[in-house]
C-alpha cells in the first residue's frame, strides 16, 4: 500500500466513512423537512445540496470532535484507536480536512439564498460548540440535538425563504430523537466517562436513563405526527408512525439491561427509525 493510499484510508476513518449511520441520522429528518417545506418533491438542486451538505458537515464535525476529545478518547475503550487519538493523524491534518469539508458544504449553501447562508453560520457555530459542551453541560446531547436539527429550518429557508412555526415543531421533535439515541450511545461509555469526568445524559439521568430514552422517542414521534396531521399524508404516514413506535419497543428490549452491546446496537440501528418516518412523509406526498 502506498503512502497516499494509507493516508487516504486514515482520512476516511477520521470522517467515519465506513459508518454511514451517523450521517443518515442527520439526513432523514432534513429530507423530511425538505419534502414538507416544498409540499412534495423539492427538486434535484435542493435535494443534492442537502444530501451532499449533510454528508460533508457530518464528516467535518467528526474531525472537530476528534480533535476536541483526543485526550478523553485515550481513556475510552471504544475510541482509543481513533486516528487523531492514536497519533496516526495530526491535529493540524484533522483540522485541515474538517475545514476543507466545511468549505465544500458552504459552497453548496451559496447556491441557495441569503437566509439559508446566514443559517449555515449558526449551524457551524453550534457544531463547533458541541464537542466542548460535555465539559460544562449536564446533558450535552441537547446541544448535539440543536446541531443535528439545523438542517430542518435551513430546509424551510431554502424552499420558502422563511422559518414557519411548523419548522420549529419538527426541529423540537428531532431534538428529542437525538436525546434518545445519543443517550443510548452515552450508556455504552458511561463507566469510562465517569472515570474521566465528562458529562453525559446517561450519567445525569442515572437510573432513569431507560425510561427517559423511551419518553424522548415518544416525544419525537408525537411531535412529527401532530405537526403533520393536517398535511393529508394519508394512511401510509399513519402506518409509518406505527412502525416507528414498534421500533421503540424493540429498542427497549435492547437497552433495558443497559448492556454495552445492547445499547450500542440500539444506537446503530436508529437510522432505520428515522428512515421509517421519512418514508411515510415521502410516500404520503407521492400518493396524495
The confidence score (pLDDT) of residue 75 equals 66
Instruction: Let me know if 230 is exposed, middle or buried by CB neighbors in 10 A (0-12, 13-18, 19+).
Output: exposed
Q: How confident is the model at residue 171 (pLDDT cuts 50, 70, 90)?
A: very high
pLDDT one-digit tens code per residue, 125-150: 998 888 888 788 888 899 989 999 99
pLDDT at 71 over 90: no
pTM of the model: 0.93
pLDDT at 2 over 80: no
Residue whose grid cell is 472537530: 64
Taking the C-alpha atoms of residue 218 and residue 156, their distance in angstroms, rounded to an integer, is: 24
Q: How confident is the model at residue 69 (pLDDT cuts 50, 70, 90)?
A: confident
pLDDT at 84 over 90: no
Grid cell of 250 as nine digits: 424493540
Residues 222-239 have a mean pLDDT of 95
pLDDT at 249 over 80: yes
Residues 90-108 have a mean pLDDT of 92
CA 25 to chain centre: 4
Q: What is the average pLDDT score of the chain?
A: 92
Residues 33-57 have a mean pLDDT of 97
Share of the chain above pLDDT 70, in %: 97
pLDDT at 47 over 90: yes
Residue 156's domain is classified under what CATH number?
A: 1.10.357.140
Range of the domain at 138: 3-287
Q: Which of 80-94, 133-147, 170-184, 195-209 has the lowest mean pLDDT?
A: 80-94
Taking the C-alpha atoms of residue 177 and residue 219, their distance in angstroms, rounded to an integer, is: 8
Taking the C-alpha atoms of residue 156 and residue 151, their distance in angstroms, rounded to an integer, is: 9
Taking the C-alpha atoms of residue 173 and residue 273, their distance in angstroms, rounded to an integer, is: 13
pLDDT at 72 over 80: no
pLDDT at 78 over 80: no
Residues 230-243 have a mean pLDDT of 95
Q: How confident is the model at residue 1 (pLDDT cuts 50, 70, 90)?
A: low
CB 205 within 8 A of CB 182: no
3-state helix/strand/coil string of 28-87: HHHHHHHHHHHCCCCCHHHHHHHHHHHHHHHHHHHHHHHHHCHHHHCCCCCCCCCHHHHC
The confidence score (pLDDT) of residue 43 equals 96
The confidence score (pLDDT) of residue 83 equals 80
Residues 109-133 have a mean pLDDT of 92
The confidence score (pLDDT) of residue 230 equals 92
**In total, how many domains does the chain have?**
1
The confidence score (pLDDT) of residue 18 equals 81
Q: Which of 50-59, 68-77, 203-212 has the lowest mean pLDDT?
A: 68-77
The confidence score (pLDDT) of residue 241 equals 97
Amino acid at each position: 500500500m502506498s503512502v497516499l493510499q494509507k493516508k487516504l484510508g486514515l482520512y476516511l476513518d477520521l470522517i467515519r466513512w465506513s459508518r454511514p449511520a451517523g450521517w443518515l441520522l442527520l439526513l432523514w429528518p432534513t429530507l423530511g423537512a425538505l419534502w414538507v417545506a416544498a409540499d412534495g418533491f423539492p427538486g434535484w438542486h435542493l435535494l443534492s445540496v442537502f444530501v451532499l451538505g449533510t454528508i460533508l458537515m457530518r464528516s467535518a464535525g467528526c474531525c472537530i470532535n476528534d480533535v476536541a476529545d483526543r485526550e478523553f478518547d485515550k481513556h475510552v475503550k471504544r475510541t482509543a484507536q481513533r486516528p487523531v487519538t492514536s497519533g496516526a493523524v495530526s491535529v493540524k491534518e484533522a483540522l485541515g480536512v474538517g475545514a476543507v469539508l466545511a468549505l465544500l458544504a458552504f459552497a453548496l449553501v451559496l447556491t441557495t439564498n441569503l437566509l439559508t447562508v446566514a443559517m449555515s453560520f449558526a449551524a457551524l457555530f453550534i457544531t463547533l460548540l458541541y464537542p466542548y459542551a460535555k465539559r460544562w453541560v449536564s446533558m450535552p446531547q441537547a446541544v448535539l440535538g440543536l446541531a443535528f436539527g439545523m438542517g430542518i429550518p435551513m430546509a424551510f429557508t431554502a424552499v420558502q425563504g422563511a422559518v414557519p412555526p411548523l419548522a420549529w415543531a419538527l426541529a423540537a421533535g428531532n431534538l428529542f430523537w437525538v436525546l434518545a439515541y445519543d443517550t443510548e450511545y452515552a450508556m455504552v461509555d458511561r463507566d469510562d466517562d465517569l472515570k474521566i469526568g465528562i458529562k453525559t445524559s446517561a450519567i445525569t439521568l442515572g437510573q432513569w436513563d431507560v425510561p427517559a430514552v423511551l419518553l424522548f422517542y415518544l416525544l419525537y414521534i408525537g411531535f412529527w405526527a401532530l405537526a403533520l396531521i393536517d398535511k393529508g399524508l394519508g394512511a401510509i404516514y399513519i402506518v409509518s408512525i406505527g412502525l416507528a413506535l414498534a421500533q421503540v419497543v424493540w429498542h427497549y428490549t435492547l437497552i433495558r439491561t443497559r448492556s454495552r452491546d445492547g445499547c450500542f446496537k440500539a444506537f446503530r440501528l436508529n437510522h432505520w427509525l428515522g428512515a421509517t418516518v421519512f418514508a411515510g412523509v415521502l410516500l404520503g406526498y407521492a400518493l396524495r
